[in-house]
Amino acid sequence: MFPAGDRNGLEVVVTLKAFRAASGETRVALRDVGFVLKPGEVCALLGPSGCGKTTLLRIVAGLDHDFEGRVRLPSPHGLGMVFQEPRLLPWRTVAQNLRLAGASPETGLDEIVAALGLADHLDHFPGELSLGLARRVAIARAFAVRPDLLLLDEPFVSLDAALAMRLRAELMALVETHRATTLIVTHDVEEAISLADRIIVLSGAPGRIIGDRPIETPRVALTPASAAVTRSELARLIAQGGA
Amino acid sequence: MLFRLASLLVLLLIWQLGSSFAGPRMLPAPLAVLTVIGAEARSGALFLNLGITLLRVMASFTLAMALGTALGILMGRNKAVDRLCDPWLIILLNLPALVIIVLAYIWIGLNETAAIGAVALNKLPNTAATLREGARALDASLDEMARVFAMPFGVRVRHILLPQLAPYLAAATRSGLSLVWKIVLVVELLGRSNGVGFEIGVAFQLFDVTRLLAYALPFVGLMLAIETFIVQPIERHVSRWRPQRA
């Protein structure tokens, strides 16, 4: 039913993911979602909120085993992840947070710290950072472990637009240089277009794949006109799926 | 600090006044007690007894904290263990210290094992109950983060588990230290032939209030010193990451 993936890519097949709602009834979160990412491919999972995007990401991360299907991670599978919240250890400094996750000068920690402008904040505790800075530390942590698979869950949610744009540009540069197989969950079309090589669109709950299309690379060559076409097309898909 | 000093001075004054009303047999004056403390210190008996009692406090405190912490974490994380042990914990929490001490002396014998074990068993349920709350309050999102980044077990314990349990460990330490030293004195009174508790027992038989106070007060001072110069600085050190309140 689903194609077999490359040895070093990511293969995800979720035939059914259900959960028990607070009301006691069983709800289906995902149905027949399957895709294969080539090594180094950057893919955005786009869909309305509540469509099971984050659930899918948690399944891929190995945080949720209660589903029907299979996940094959790139081997060897070093994993880096940016959660919706920074999830830093408040009692450890920024530098310790990065090191404890497995980052070191050998894995390129210093370059990433410099690229994200964190050099002056290494000795600070997370409680002393602004939300934007804490988000940067979380991004640095995910990249600095030199992952084979990178999972990003709405990395810019709840940031103001200007900050989100700046951080997105920095993230684009990091994605470009690191080229890990990457899965980005987002409900923002702009974000998906600017970061991904490929966009998979999920319908509203229960999530199914209703669109899967490549984005021209290099992304900077995307003309305003073609970007606009892509944008309207994706918007139409989301509107259909959500209805 | 100045207020504390003033408060202590007022207490001394009341003591002095009380002594002149009640007479030196019922309540000896501060200076009389100080003289006996000096004499006992010169003979070495004071330090010997203080030291022995302190060792018993440390041994039973360490035992109760180690076992109580392990049990508390287990109960906080595992429902089956919690259901099994919870009634035992409630019984143990409500069992008078004296009952545990006497039973320990009868069953194990009048020895050090029984003394330290009985004190530890008195403190253990309190530690377990406190740490169970701590284990229940653990942040699952940090646990997930650690799993995703494949942090080794040792790193998780040291950098994720212990910092979250630190306030609960501190609470158990504070209440534990004062509870343990009070019970140690009873244990010594009932079944040991040295230590501050034993000396107080002797003073009781001789109706020697001066001697009683000469042993009790230095020990209170010692426990206060441990609290102020060891426990509190450690607490400040482990909570230095918390944003300072203005």
Same domain, A191 and A118: no
Q: Give the long-range contacts of residues B241-244, CB within 8 A, separation 24 or more.
A: B241/A90, B241/A91, B241/A92, B241/A125, B241/A127, B242/A127, B243/A127, B243/A128
- Sign of torsion, CA B103 B108 B109 B113? negative
pLDDT in tens, B143-155: 999 999 999 999 9
Same domain, A74 and A27: yes
- Nearest chain A CA: its distance from B147 CA (Å): 8
Same domain, A166 and A56: yes
Which chain A residues touch B243 with a CB distance below 8 Å? 127-128
Q: Considering A127, A145, A163, which residue would you say is the last residue of a domain?
A: A145
Residue A1 domain flag: no
Is the model more confident about B48 or about A72? B48
Q: Is A146 on the interface with B (CB under 8 A)?
A: no
Same domain, A60 and A44: yes
pLDDT in tens, A41-95: 889 998 887 778 888 899 998 898 888 888 888 766 689 999 999 999 999 999 9
Q: Determine the Cα–Cα distance for residues A44 and A195; give it in Å rounded to an integer.
A: 8
Q: How many residues does chain B have?
A: 246
- Nearest chain B CA: its distance from A212 CA (Å): 27
Q: Determine the Cα–Cα distance for residues B34 and B39; give it in Å rounded to an integer.
A: 9
Q: Considering A102, A121, A145, which residue would you say is the last residue of a domain?
A: A145
Contact B142 A89 (CB under 8 A): yes
pLDDT in tens, B97-108: 999 999 999 999
Report pLDDT for B246.
Answer: 45
Please check the confidence at residue A1 and state whether its pLDDT lies above 60.
Answer: no
Contact B144 A63 (CB under 8 A): yes
Is the model more confident about A234 or about A212? A212
Residue the block writes with tokens 């319908």: A203
Q: pTM, whole model, 2 decimals?
A: 0.78
Same domain, A114 and A152: no
Same domain, A133 and A167: no
Same domain, A138 and A154: no
| HEC string for chain A | CCCCCCCCCEEEEEEEEEEECCCCCEEEEEEEEEEEECCCCEEEEECCCCCCHHHHHHHHHCCCCCCEEEEECCCCCCEEEECCCCCCCCCCCHHHHHHHCCCCHHHCHHHHHHHCCCHHHCCCCHHHCCHHHHHHHHHHHHHHCCCCEEEEECCCCCCCHHHHHHHHHHHHHHHHHHCCEEEEEECCHHHHHHHCCEEEEECCCCECEEEEEECCCCHHHCCHHHHHHHHHHHHHHHHHHHC
Residue the block writes with tokens 């895709």: A35
Q: Determine the Cα–Cα distance for residues B238 and B213; give it in Å rounded to an integer.
A: 36
Q: Is A145 on the interface with B (CB under 8 A)?
A: yes
Q: Where are the domains of chain B?
A: 49-238
Same domain, A102 and A140: yes
Least Cα distance to A127 among A84, A100, A91, A85 occurs for A91
Residue A5 domain flag: no
Q: Determine the Cα–Cα distance for residues A23 and A14; give it in Å rounded to an integer.
A: 24
Q: Determine the Cα–Cα distance for residues B180 and B56; give it in Å rounded to an integer.
A: 9
Q: Determine the Cα–Cα distance for residues B166 and B240; give it in Å rounded to an integer.
A: 12
Same domain, A179 and A218: yes
Are A133 and A88 in contact by the 8 Å Cβ rule? The answer is no
pLDDT confidence band for A243 (50 / 70 / 90): very low
Q: Determine the Cα–Cα distance for residues B31 and B217; give it in Å rounded to an integer.
A: 13
Same domain, A74 and A109: no
Same domain, A33 and A153: yes
Q: Determine the Cα–Cα distance for residues A64 and A55; give it in Å rounded to an integer.
A: 8
CATH 1.10.3720.10 fits B49-238, yes or no: yes
Q: Residue A16: which domain range? A: 10-78+147-242
pLDDT confidence band for A191 (50 / 70 / 90): confident
Same domain, A17 and A128: no
DSSP secondary structure letters along B44-55 = THHHHHHHHHHH
Residue of A87, A127, A128 lying closest to B141 (CB–CB): A87
Q: Determine the Cα–Cα distance for residues A99 and A197; give it in Å rounded to an integer.
A: 30
Domain harbouring A214, CATH code = 3.40.50.300
pLDDT in tens, A84-143: 999 999 999 999 999 999 888 888 889 889 988 899 999 999 999 988 899 999 999 999
- Nearest chain B CA: its distance from A214 CA (Å): 28
Q: Determine the Cα–Cα distance for residues B111 and B88; give it in Å rounded to an integer.
A: 26
Q: Is A87 on the interface with B (CB under 8 A)?
A: yes
Give the count of domains, chain A.
2
Q: Considering A145, A168, A191, which residue would you say is the last residue of a domain?
A: A145
Residue A3 domain flag: no
